[in-house]
Structure 1
């Protein structure tokens, strides 16, 4: 059977037998890929450390019947250790990995999604911004690429411009009082502006925002993301470290 080579981000790992692992990868040209890395849990493995979560690699894989086989790995981005060493960064990376798994399917080549995730993981590893801000910016951009852009500067229903104070994940962002369904909560203009800054990558505004403002923006973004991903993202809104496998 044929082999192929592709750049990949390790999203998840799962133990298999005594020495192997099943990897879930987001690849540049082949979308989501599940593959077996044989012998990587042995201390003698040459590339076990390269296949930890949130590492970026150049991998050669052998096409299998149900799972591909990792044959060779070259390291590209060593982000895993730095992310795992910081609790908030680890949670943020897990949320981004969950979102990527739902936005990109098997065989669904999406280079923009791949590079967006790589850039966000690099930023987390370098501690360029608050982890939750990096996560939220990634989620907004990834959802926009998938066809769900968030609206912060005009009513998402009728298009009326202005600083609207109601937010509806179902409608796609802020809505005017006339279009807002019953029960839609209000938000303040500063929080809406902060969501827009996270989407645009206006880090001068984001980085000077206080934690409470970031938390309010994160709540809106989490509701928006979980609505469009159609299920709960476990790593959003939790302060408990997920169990490592």
Structure 2
């Protein structure tokens, strides 16, 4: 049986002498793994369509043990000719997050569209870090880990613009003044700026965020809380983070 779907290549690894095993996040079937026969031969019909960050239409044969990629048609090749190493690294981080946070064959069109958007706008933005951090918050929200930013995690009281604001990673959001006075364990003090910013990032399209910039000190706070939240709820470590950190030192 043949099936057809749009998809974005998350990972592509060499297999045996001339094949590749490709992980694709597809629009219609979620994450799928399939083999491309003879792709590493000089005259392969697939060209660059199976490279990481490629958005394409895939025609795939449903095999008994493994699916086989039959044909491909590139729709957009993100960063294929780009020399912007930093933006490429952020894009690679985005696909690694989707790969590690999803199970095979679980369809999520919202996540597929979000991934396609972040890769598209990463090429244009002046602040790839802000865009990627926003993507992480929205991914977590789509996957059911949306933080509580308007109401206290403990008592459900509305959080207004109080002078001291605290965030608890394990409890999943902000803690009100009254609850914090009783128990501060595991709580991180955050700025009111962060609270307002994170609320906006969860509901603002990436096309809008891609045009924005925020001060360095604010990015550092956003990055710290985002990474703690993502690591705790995903229970994953991301290899691309090491590369991103090495770029900061250069």
2:236 to 231, 235, 240: 231
Structure 2 unmatched runs, 5+ = none
Q: Which residue of 2 aligns with 1:56?
A: 55
Does the alignment pair 1:200 with 2:203? yes
Q: Which residue of 2 aligns with 1:168?
A: 168
Q: Runs of 4+ in structure 1 displaced over 6 angstroms?
A: none
Q: Give RMSD over aligned pairs.
A: 2.3
Is contact 2:34–2:67 with CA below 8 Å preserved after alignment?
yes
Q: Secondary structure at the match of 1:223?
A: helix
Deviates more, 1:54-63 or 1:161-170: 161-170
In structure 1, C-alpha distance between the alignment counterparts of 2:68 and 2:146, rounded to whole Å: 36
Q: TM-score, normalised by structure 1?
A: 0.87
- 1:211 deviates by 2.3
Does the alignment pair 1:77 with 2:66? no
In structure 1, C-alpha distance between the alignment counterparts of 2:84 and 2:199, rounded to whole Å: 27
Q: Secondary structure at the match of 2:240?
A: coil
1:131 to 128, 132, 137: 128
- 1:21 deviates by 1.1
- 1:33 deviates by 0.6
Q: Secondary structure at the match of 2:7?
A: strand
Is contact 1:26–1:33 with CA below 8 Å preserved after alignment?
yes
Is contact 1:25–1:33 with CA below 8 Å preserved after alignment?
yes
Q: Aligned runs of 1:101-116 on 2, under 5 Å?
A: 101-116=99-114
Deviations 1:149-207 (A, max 9, x none): 12333323322222452111212222224435414221111122222232232747982
In structure 2, C-alpha distance between the alignment counterparts of 1:196 and 1:236, rounded to whole Å: 24
Q: TM-score, normalised by structure 2?
A: 0.86
Does the alignment pair 1:153 with 2:169? no
In structure 1, C-alpha distance between the alignment counterparts of 2:129 and 2:152, rounded to whole Å: 26
In structure 2, C-alpha distance between the alignment counterparts of 1:212 and 1:205, rounded to whole Å: 19
1:186 to 185, 189, 193: 189
